[in-house]
Structure 1
Amino acid sequence: MSANQFSLQSLIDVEPAADPAFVFDGTPVSRAEFSAQVERTAAWLAAQGIGKGDVVAVWLVNRVEWLALLFAAARLGAVVAAVNTRYRSAEVAHLLKLSGAKLMVVEAAFRAIDFAAILADVARNEVPALQRLAVVGTDEIPGQWPCVRFDAFDKPYPPAPPAQGDVDLPVLLYTTSGTTKGPKLVVHSQRTLATHAVSVARALNLSPQRHSLLAMLPFCGTFGMTSLLGFVAAGATIHMLDAFEAAPALEILGKHKITHSFGSDEMFRRILALTDAPRPFPHLEICGFAAFQPGWRELAAEAEARGLPLFGLYGSSEVQALFSIARASDAFADRIEGGGWPMSPEALVRVRNIETGELAAQGVSGEIEISAPSRFLGYFNNPGATREAITADGFFRTGDIGRLRGDGAFVYETRAGDAMRLGGFLVAPGEIEDELKACTGVADAQVVAVDLKGSARCIAFVIPTSEPPQHEQLTARLRDRLAGYKVPARIYLVDAFPVTDSANGVKIQRARLRAMAMERIAAE
C-alpha cells in the first residue's frame, strides 16, 4: 500500500460515501466542502508560520473546525495537541509547556466555560513557546498574547505548500493520566490513526448507506476522536454535538434514526431518563460504553430491555479507543463487560502474571499487554517513559488488569492501581462492590485496599438508602457470600464518593478513597 493510503485525507476520499459527511448544529457539510475547508485551514496555518514539526494546541469544543485543523496540520506535517475542555489554568499551562505549542486555537467562551479567564491565570513566562492565540467566535481575547481570528477566511491566503508525505510523523498528541508532575502526551501519527479508523469501520461492518453516528464524546480525547475517524473511514454520516447534553442527544438519536453512538455509562443513563417510551430508539444497533460509575450493570440491563443495546469495549490513549469491542453474538453478561474482540486482525493481546512475570494462561488475571497497528509512537519528548511502557518485543504495558477468555476475546477487570492483592490473590473491586450493592440499605458502594497492621485489607465506603444498613448485618451477609479475605475490615457510610471530571465522564477518585480510609483508621 502507498503512504497516501495511510493518510488522514485518504479517509475523506473513501468511496462509496454518504453525503453529508457531517451535520453540525443542523448544518450539513459535504465531503467536498470539508476537503475545501481543510485546504483553507492549511493555507491559514501556513500563513501563521506553522510548518513541519510545529505544534498547534486546539482548545475547542466539538465542531467541524476541530477536525479540519487536525487534517490541515497533517497536510503540513504539523502536530495538533488536543486540550481537554475541562482543563483549568495549571493543566493548560502544563500542556502548552510540555508540547511547545506555537499557536493555540481557542474558544472565546462556551456556556459556563470562560476560556479567557482561565488563560488569564497562565503566566506568559510559563509557556515561552506560545506566540499567539487564534480565537473562534471573536476577534481577540484580552490578555498577554497577540490574537488573530480563526474562523474568518475572507482574506485570501497563499495556497498551502504541497502535502507532507511522511505519514509516520507525529500528528496528534493526547493527554493521558500522569503523576503529580502532570499528564504525559501520547504521540500518534497519521498511519496509526488512519489504519485504526479503517479497522474500526471494517470490524463494525459499517455501511455509508445504512449507518450513522451520533458523536457526543469530546474530540479532545481518544474515545471521541477514534469513533469519529472510524465513521469518516466508513463514509457514513456523523451528527456532531458541540458538548454532551442529554436532551439534544435524545432528539438526534430519534429524529435522524442514528444506528451507533459511543459514550460513558452516565451519558446513556441521562438519555434514557428523559424518555418514558418503552423502546425509544428502534434503529440503534450498537452503543459502545465505558463503565465509569457504579451501577453500570443495572443500567445495561435496563437499557437492553428498552432497546438500547450497550456493548462493552476497551481502549486507551496509547492504543486508541475502540481497540476492542464485544460482539452481538456474545452472551449478554459477556457483551457488557469491558474488553471484547480486537478491531484489528493484526492486534495481539496477552496477559502477564504480575507476580511471576510469566505469561498467564487463559482465565488467569494479570496485566494486559497489547501489540497493534493502533499503538502510539511514544510519549512526546519523554523517551524514558516510552521505554518503560513498551516491552522489548513491542507490546504496550497497559497498566490494566484483565484475563483472556480463550475464544479470541479478553476481559478488562480494573486498573492495576485499583486491583487489590488480598489474601495472596488479585481481586477486582467490582466483585465486592456488586455484593455490597445487593445488600438491603446500600444504594452504592466502593472498595479499596489499604495496609492494616501489616496486611492488605479491604475497606468499603457505602452510600446508604433512606434506611441505612447495619454494619454487622452487612458483614454477616458478605461472609456468607465471599471468601474471608474479601470481606471488608471496615465499612464506612458516606454521603457521596469523591469524583473527578475527565474528557469522557466523571470518575471515582480511588486514590482519595484510600486516603480517606487511612485517615479514618488513624482516627480510631
Structure 2
Amino acid sequence: MHADDASLHSLIESDTAADPAFLFDGTPVSRAEFARKAEQTAAWLAAQGIGKGDVVAVWLVNRVEWIALLFAAARLGAIVAAVNTRYRSAEVAHLLKLSGAKLLVIEAAFRSIDFAAILADIAKTDVPALQQLAVVGADAVPAQWPSVRFDAFDKHYPPAPAQHDIDLPVLLYTTSGTTKGPKLVTHSQRTLASHAKAVAKALQLSPQRHALLAMLPFCGTFGMTSLLGFVAAGATVHVLDAFEAAPALKILAEHKITHSFGSDEMFRRILALTDARRPFPHLQVCGFAAFQPGWRELAAEAEARGLPLFGLYGSSEVQALFSIGRASDAFADRIEGGGWPMSPDAKVRVRDTETGELAPQGVSGEIEISAPSCFLGYFNNPQATGDAITADGFFRTGDIGRLRGGAFVYETRAGDAMRLGGFLVAPGEIEDELKSCAGVADAQVVAVDLKGQARCVAFVIAAGAPPRQEVLTARLRQRLAGYKIPARIYVVDAFPVTDSANGVKIQRAKLRTIAMERIAAEPS
C-alpha cells in the first residue's frame, strides 16, 4: 500500500462514493463539503497555535466537528485525545494530564451533560498543559481557562501547511486494563486508515447498496472504527449524536440501513419499541458486543425478527471490528465473540496461561494478536508498551479465548477488570476515589450481576465513624461516570485475604460471593 493510500484523507477520495457522506440528525454533509470542513478546521487549529505533536482533547458528542477535528489534526501532524462524554471531573482531569492536551474542544451542554460544571471541579494545577478551551455552539463557557468559539466553519483562517507523515500519532483512545486510571492507546493515520479499508473490503461494502447507522460514540474505537470503515467504502453514514432507541428505530426502518454496530442492550431496546414481526427488511449485519446476561436469547429473538446479530472482537489496542462472525457460520458460532479477522494480514494465536506454550486448536488461553490495526503503543508510557508486546511483536490482549479453524472465540477477560455500562473499568479507579472520601480508610470493588445488569459493589473499611452510603455515592457522582457508581457500599472490618509467595492478596472471588449473598438477603 502506498503511503498516501493509508492516510485518513484517502478515505474520502473515492470517485464512486455515495453522497451524502453523512447525515447528522438528518442534515446531509457531502464528501466535498466534509473535505472542505476538515481543511477549514486545520486552518482554525493552526490559528490556535496547534501544530505537529500538539494534543487537542475532543469532548463532544457525535457531530461533524468531531470528525473534522480528527482529519484536521492528521493534516497538521497534531494528535486528538478522545474524551468519553460520560466522563466526569476526575476522569477528564486524568486524561488531560496524561495526554498533555493544550486545547480542549467542548460544547456548553448536551441534554443532561453540563460540561462547564464538570470542568469547574477540575483544579487548574492538575492539568498544567491545558491553555485554552474551544466551545462548539456557544461563544464561551464559565471556566478557569480562556475560551474561544469554535468558528472554523464560519470564519476564514489562513490555510495551514500540511505534513505527510502518516505514521505519526494522530488519535488517543483511553483504556483501563487493570491499572488505576486509563492508559492512552496511540494510533496513527496508517493504523486507522488501513484497518478502515480492511473492514470495508471484508464486509464487501458497496456505496450503492449499503448504509450504516452510527449510534456508538466516536470517542471509542467501536464507534470510530465502524464510522471510518463505511467512509472508506464510500457508503452513507446516518449518525445519532447520542444513542436513543426511538430515533435509532426510526432510521433503521425508514432509511434502508444495512449495517449497525452496538451493544446487546442497544439492540434489545430497539426491538422492544416495535411489535412488527420483521421491522427491518434491509438489515444485513448488526455487529454486537455481549455485555449483559441473556445475550444468546436476545440473538435468537433478533434473528427471528430479521435483526441478524454477529459476534465480533476488538479493543482500543487492535481497534474494534478486528474480527466478526460470518453469515456462513452456524448461528451458534456466528453470535459468539471473536470471529474471523478483517485483515488477511492479521495473525491470532493463543498462549496457554499455565505452561506458557502456544495452545492448539480448541484449548483456551490468552489471545495474542499481530495485525496492521495494532496500536503504536501507550502514549508516553514505554514501560506499559513493552509489557504488552511479546518479543516477536504480538500484542498480549489480556483476553481469554480459543482458536476455531481460521477463526477464534473470545471467552472472557483475564484479571480483575470489570465490564460496566459497556466499558471496561479498572476497580482501582473507583477504589482510589472511595479512598479519597472522608471516613474511608480502604476500599475494594467487585462486579456482580444485579437484576440482569453488571454493576459494581464496594466494600470499605472505615476510618473512624462508619461513612454513610448516600454520602459516598453523592461524592462519587460528582467525580465519576454513572456506570462506575457502586450499586451497594458495605462497611466491613477487614477484607478476606490469602497468603501467597508474592505476598498477601485480596480474595476478590470471596468478595463477590459476599456481595451476592448480601444482595440476595435484602427484602424484596
Quick check: TM above 0.5? yes
Residue 253 of structure 1 and its aligned partner are, at CA, apart by: 0.5
Residue 324 of structure 1 and its aligned partner are, at CA, apart by: 0.1
2:51 maps to 51
Q: Deviations over 1:87-110 (max 9, x none)?
A: 000000000000000000001100
The runs of 5 or more residues in structure 2 that have no matched partner are: 418-445, 458-476, 488-506
Q: Deviations over 1:176-213 (max 9, x none)?
A: 01445311000000000000000000000000000000
The change in CA–CA distance for 1:188 and 1:505 in structure 2 (over 3 A counts) is farther
CA distance, structure 1, for counterparts of residue 60 and residue 447 of structure 2: 39
Q: Which one is further off, 506-515 or 126-135?
A: 506-515
Residue 508 of structure 1 and its aligned partner are, at CA, apart by: 11
CA distance, structure 1, for counterparts of residue 482 and residue 299 of structure 2: 17
CA distance, structure 1, for counterparts of residue 138 and residue 49 of structure 2: 21
1:108 maps to 108
Residue 417 of structure 1 and its aligned partner are, at CA, apart by: 2.0
2:242 maps to 243
**Conserved 8 A contact 2:214-2:237:** yes
Residue 16 of structure 1 and its aligned partner are, at CA, apart by: 1.3
**Conserved 8 A contact 1:292-1:507:** no
**Conserved 8 A contact 1:59-1:104:** yes
CA distance, structure 1, for counterparts of residue 109 and residue 205 of structure 2: 36
2:67 maps to 67
CA distance, structure 2, for counterparts of residue 318 and residue 295 of structure 1: 28
Residue 3 of structure 1 and its aligned partner are, at CA, apart by: 1.4
**Conserved 8 A contact 2:40-2:156:** no
**1:85 aligns to 2:89 (yes or no):** no
CA distance, structure 1, for counterparts of residue 343 and residue 300 of structure 2: 29
Q: Matched residue of 2:113: which SS? A: coil
CA distance, structure 1, for counterparts of residue 42 and residue 354 of structure 2: 51
Residue 156 of structure 1 and its aligned partner are, at CA, apart by: 2.0
Taking only the aligned residue pairs, the percentage that are identical comes to 80
Residue 403 of structure 1 and its aligned partner are, at CA, apart by: 0.3
**Conserved 8 A contact 2:366-2:399:** yes
2:266 maps to 267
Q: Matched residue of 1:404: which SS? A: strand
2:511 to 515, 518, 524: 515
CA distance, structure 1, for counterparts of residue 155 and residue 236 of structure 2: 30
The change in CA–CA distance for 1:383 and 1:497 in structure 2 (over 3 A counts) is closer
CA distance, structure 2, for counterparts of residue 350 and residue 265 of structure 1: 27
CA distance, structure 1, for counterparts of residue 315 and residue 19 of structure 2: 31
1:195 maps to 194
- The one-letter code matched in structure 2 to 1:11 is L
The change in CA–CA distance for 1:385 and 1:460 in structure 2 (over 3 A counts) is closer
2:455 maps to 498
**Conserved 8 A contact 2:87-2:481:** no
1:415 maps to 413
Q: Deviations over 1:20-42 (max 9, x none)?
A: 00001111000000000001000
The runs of 5 or more residues in structure 1 that have no matched partner are: 420-458, 464-493
CA distance, structure 2, for counterparts of residue 504 and residue 195 of structure 1: 33
Residue 152 of structure 1 and its aligned partner are, at CA, apart by: 5.4
1:400 maps to 399
2:206 maps to 207
**Conserved 8 A contact 2:86-2:481:** no
CA distance, structure 1, for counterparts of residue 129 and residue 63 of structure 2: 26
**Conserved 8 A contact 2:120-2:143:** yes
- The one-letter code matched in structure 2 to 1:229 is L
Q: Matched residue of 2:391: which SS? A: coil
**Conserved 8 A contact 1:314-1:322:** yes
2:294 maps to 295
**Conserved 8 A contact 1:201-1:231:** yes
1:469 maps to none
**1:146 aligns to 2:146 (yes or no):** yes
**1:160 aligns to 2:117 (yes or no):** no
Q: Deviations over 1:99-141 (max 9, x none)?
A: 0000000011000111110000010000000000000111111
CA distance, structure 2, for counterparts of residue 496 and residue 200 of structure 1: 31
Residue 515 of structure 1 and its aligned partner are, at CA, apart by: 2.7
1:443 maps to none
Q: Deviations over 1:476-502 (max 9, x none)?
A: xxxxxxxxxxxxxxxxxx79752599x
Q: Matched residue of 2:269: which SS? A: helix
**1:177 aligns to 2:168 (yes or no):** no
CA distance, structure 2, for counterparts of residue 347 and residue 291 of structure 1: 23
Q: Deviations over 1:300-343 (max 9, x none)?
A: 00000000000000000000000000000000000000000000
Q: Matched residue of 2:398: which SS? A: strand
Q: Matched residue of 1:98: which SS? A: helix
Matches within 5 A, 1:35-50: 35-50=35-50
**Conserved 8 A contact 2:447-2:455:** no
CA distance, structure 1, for counterparts of residue 311 and residue 516 of structure 2: 35
**1:333 aligns to 2:332 (yes or no):** yes
Q: Matched residue of 2:182: which SS? A: strand
Q: Deviations over 1:271-303 (max 9, x none)?
A: 000000000000000000000000000000000
Instruction: Flag as ranges the 4+ runs of structure 1 deviating above 4 A.
Output: 459-463, 494-497, 503-514, 518-524
Matches within 5 A, 1:377-396: 377-396=376-395
The change in CA–CA distance for 1:509 and 1:176 in structure 2 (over 3 A counts) is farther
Residue 64 of structure 1 and its aligned partner are, at CA, apart by: 1.0
CA distance, structure 2, for counterparts of residue 509 and residue 315 of structure 1: 27
The change in CA–CA distance for 1:32 and 1:180 in structure 2 (over 3 A counts) is same
Q: Deviations over 1:400-420 (max 9, x none)?
A: 000001x2000000001269x
Q: Matched residue of 2:58: which SS? A: strand
- The one-letter code matched in structure 2 to 1:401 is I
Q: Deviations over 1:246-273 (max 9, x none)?
A: 0000000111010000000000000000
**Conserved 8 A contact 1:368-1:398:** yes
**Conserved 8 A contact 2:447-2:454:** no
**Conserved 8 A contact 1:366-1:403:** yes
CA distance, structure 1, for counterparts of residue 361 and residue 160 of structure 2: 53
**Conserved 8 A contact 2:210-2:257:** yes
CA distance, structure 2, for counterparts of residue 381 and residue 460 of structure 1: 30
**Conserved 8 A contact 1:57-1:105:** yes
Matches within 5 A, 1:288-367: 288-367=287-366
Number of aligned residues? 452
CA distance, structure 2, for counterparts of residue 514 and residue 22 of structure 1: 50
2:494 maps to none
